[in-house]
Amino acid sequence: MTAAELTIWGLANLWKEGKEGGYAVRHGQKPVRDFGRVRPVSELLNETEEERLNFFEKAFPNLFPYGEGGLEGAQLTLVEFSEHIKWTLRYHDRRFCTHGTYPLVAFGIQQCRQALFSA
């Protein structure tokens, strides 16, 4: 797949009812959860799409063009956050490691978690 095709797929996942949504970044009513899973994976799989929002899938639509596979998303097999980051950065097409902000965001969240969990 070309970069243009990945971007088109990623933007299509942001559309609602066949219409293109807005691109403005605005403050939401709820903060983004970056402390990982708070419930078992079995409960996450039964959530509605709105309840299952994944930060990485929405923040990086060109890296997750099908709207699936974000870090700590609803997966049958539990994958540690740091292991999932390592896997994405070793991905064969190098789109994760060459992205301008993805490694910084991922490692920033990982460092915050390490500092808070060790305190």
Tens of pLDDT along the chain (119 residues) come to: 777 787 777 777 666 666 666 555 556 666 556 666 555 555 555 655 555 567 788 788 888 888 788 887 777 787 888 898 999 999 998 889 999 899 999 999 888 888 887 87
| C-alpha of 61 from chain center | 8
What is the pTM for the complete model shown? 0.60
Widest CA span of the chain, in angstroms? 47
What's the rounded Cα separation, in Å, for the pair 91 and 2?
A: 15
Tally DSSP H helices, then E strands, for the chain. Answer: 5, 0
